[in-house]
Structure 1
Amino acid sequence: MKKTINLIKRDRYLLLLVLPAFLLILLFNYIPMGGLLMAFENYSTKKGIFGSEFVGLENFKQFFSSIFAFRVIKNTFLLSFLNLLWGFPIPIIFALMLNELKNGPFKKVVQTVSYLPHFVSTVVIIGMMISMFDPNFGLVNVLRAKLGLDSIAFMSDASWFRTLFVGSEVWQNFGWNSIIYIAAIAGISQDLYEAAKIDGANRFQLAMKITLPSLVPTILTLFILNCGWMFSLGFEKVILMYSPGTYAVSDIISTYVYRKGILGADFGYATAIGLFNSLINVVILLSVNKISKKVKGVSIF
């Protein structure tokens, strides 16, 4: 105890600096975990969490016997997988390409332009997409008409939903996500490049044999973290892109939880689905972390 008190006195200013973040996590991440009890109850707002009827796994059984269960799980997995498939490697490729540019105004402009979409709200992004892909006056269909092609209602066509969703996600975030790779590249010793140049390596070989291998620990760490959020697609963007024609491919776990919990006021059932979603994320995170640790010796814990 005396040793602990001495450490607290020594690091009191650092602890004070961390205190706001600690309180934020405590208030919004740990205390709300008490609400998970609703997943096992026939929750009533009148009776509260501790007064509602306990029903065990009944809410989970209800979900898995629902006609929507397979659809929302499948759609969530496909959108998450496609996001990871396209959204994860593109920032790496962009960082490698950006590294090949000489420092100057053009490189700074490219970096700035690539970061900007990240700061545009989702509502504005969807508004831009609706204007661009409008079947009558949208830029894309105007160009198609000039080429003699038929107009396509992209935003209400189920076959285009995943392409538009993933494409807009990649465009909005690839520049921002590349920052950490650019920082990691900046930390690579220049002696490695000089030695390779002496041995006759060209620029492509430098990128493939030095830059990319040096990024492997960073890439794997971020890949593990991304897998941990794989099933955590937010409902905001999907709801903004919703239309009757795309329900079959756009309905995901978070939108189903929104409909049942917020709109339908079935809080116990919605909590059970949300808990199931979180458990999937935990299983994926632990699995990918274990595989990465075993194969490459890189893990987050």
Structure 2
Amino acid sequence: MGRGADAVHAERVLKVISGSDAASSALAASWRRSGRLHALDPASRTLPQRLAAAEITEAKDKLGPMLRVAQASLDRLFVAVGGVGCSVLLADRSGLVVDRRGAPCDDSTFDAWGLWTGAVWSEKVEGTNGIGTCLVEQRLLTIDRDQHFFTRNALLSCTTAPIYDEHGELAAALDVSSCRADLTEGFVRLIATAVADAARAIEAENFRHAFPAARIVLPPAGERAGVSLIAVDDGDLVVGATRAARLAFGISVEKLARPMPAADLIGRGQGENDRIEAAERAVLQRALARSGGNVSKAAKDLDMSRATLHRKMNQLGLRR
């Protein structure tokens, strides 16, 4: 942006902050947080804050296994967007960038913008921006060009998704940023889809890593089923649930602290007989799967006669 455009943008932001502009959107709310709560000046030219190597290492250690399991998803996302001049950033819940992907030919550009490991992109220090505002509002969003609070960031387009840990707590943010002037609305939507998918993949892989000995169940949970996962132990008791599963099934920390049969949780809304039948069907299906469809072996594993197993299979409509 030129100096004239900078002044226009700063004036527009200040009007919203002061209340002389009646804007009531989520963007306006973020601008007001930036100006009123954090006392930031939209015209400030101060570059993004950067932390020392020791602080970056400490932040990486706090993310623990999630940072390791995220690597494959970061690589795949960069393959999808890196060729068109985008960088991929992973920030912790404080907004500190702990990992990134970028084409070497773009490194100097992204470094100058602060799209680099060690930079802090919290809303508190950078005002409205993809990473910081995503962490505050905890939702997938795009902050496009002059939607940014600072005029110096008004050439950036940033799409960010929140990432939750195995306890359902906000842990990180995944961002794709670009300073290209020719990004179309349609392409930004494609980036948003890719970012959301990658964030869900990181959550799912981190959840599986957190419960290595458990059976991971994917219950029906509408559009959020991709990260609606439940960890079940050998006794079919729920031992863990992702944030989406907690929201979908009303699983509180208190509920998880008590033994909870998976069938009772997933079968909510069914009658008792339906739940018992579903549990029986699941037991028989697992036995048949383990035996490769061999009814005699499955019956032996279940400590029942072959005739009894056949009868139950017929009752439940099961085939080999």
User: Normalising by structure 1, what TM-score?
Assistant: 0.23
The structure in which a higher percent of residues are helix is: 1
The structure in which a higher percent of residues are strand is: 2
Q: Which has the higher contact order (CA 8 A, sep 6+)?
A: 1
